[in-house]
Amino acid sequence: MKLKLNEFTKNTRKLVLFRGIHYYQQGRQKLDKQSDKTYYYDVAGQENNYKVVVNLGDENMIVFSSCDCPYSAAGFCKHQVASFIDIMHQQGTLDIETLENAEVMEEKTPEQPVPEGWSHADFQRLKNFDVSGYLATFSRDELIFIMLNYMQIDMKLFMYIFHHYMVEEARSKIRNVN
């Protein structure tokens, strides 16, 4: 889903939006570095600090955004929201009241907890599947082959790997030089 920065709420759950606004108001987000239109944030969570990367394109379009927190529900997390709000503040386009009343992502209804096309039993087996155990059956070369193939298909996976491993490794090297 391509969104402009000022429309990020369309991919954000209501509760997450309010938590992100609260984080922003508490000043939990800290801009670590900005390179052109890519912003690197450290955001203080309840127990840990999280890394957020936001890349904006032409017309303030969100090209990529990631956070290394464990949030796994749909949409942006509260750490990303706090970072988006801070960027809007820097740009002079922030209006908290408008954000609080903005269109948000529709919540999934509890009547359909199983994805379309799945039986309830199959979905339960999938939720209980031992991913770590299964991946341990592959050799290192097989895992690299699988990752490279999926990264060619899924640009979001590629960007996640790139920002969370390659960029972070380079940032660590730079920090260790000082």
Total domains in the fold of the chain: 2
Q: Are residues 37 and 76 in the same domain?
A: yes
CA dihedral of residues 165, 171, 176, 178 (deg, nearest 10): 180
Per the model's pLDDT, the better-predicted residue between 148 and 108 turns out to be: 148
* Residue ending a domain, choose from 72, 100, 128: 100
Q: Indicate the DSSP class of residue 159.
A: H
**Residue 144 pLDDT > 90, yes or no?**
no
Task: Tell me the residue range of the domain where 158 lies.
Answer: 120-177
Q: Are residues 124 and 84 in the same domain?
A: no
In this prediction, residue 99 carries a pLDDT of 82
Q: Are residues 26 and 64 in the same domain?
A: yes
Per the model's pLDDT, the better-predicted residue between 75 and 79 turns out to be: 79
Q: Are residues 158 and 72 in the same domain?
A: no
Q: Are residues 19 and 76 in the same domain?
A: yes
**Phi–psi pair at 41, nearest 5 degrees:** -115, 150
Q: Are residues 60 and 91 in the same domain?
A: yes
**pLDDT tens for each residue of 13-50:** 888 999 999 999 999 999 999 988 999 999 999 889 99
DSSP assignment string, 48-99:
SEEEEEEEE-GGGEEEEEEE-S---SSS--HHHHHHHHHHHHHHT---HHHH
* Residue ending a domain, choose from 100, 132, 151: 100
Q: Are residues 130 and 62 in the same domain?
A: no
The mean pLDDT of the chain is 84
In this prediction, residue 61 carries a pLDDT of 93
Confidence of residue 119 (pLDDT cuts 50, 70, 90): confident
* Residue ending a domain, choose from 48, 69, 100: 100
**Residue 79 pLDDT > 90, yes or no?**
yes
Percentage, residues of the chain above pLDDT 70: 85
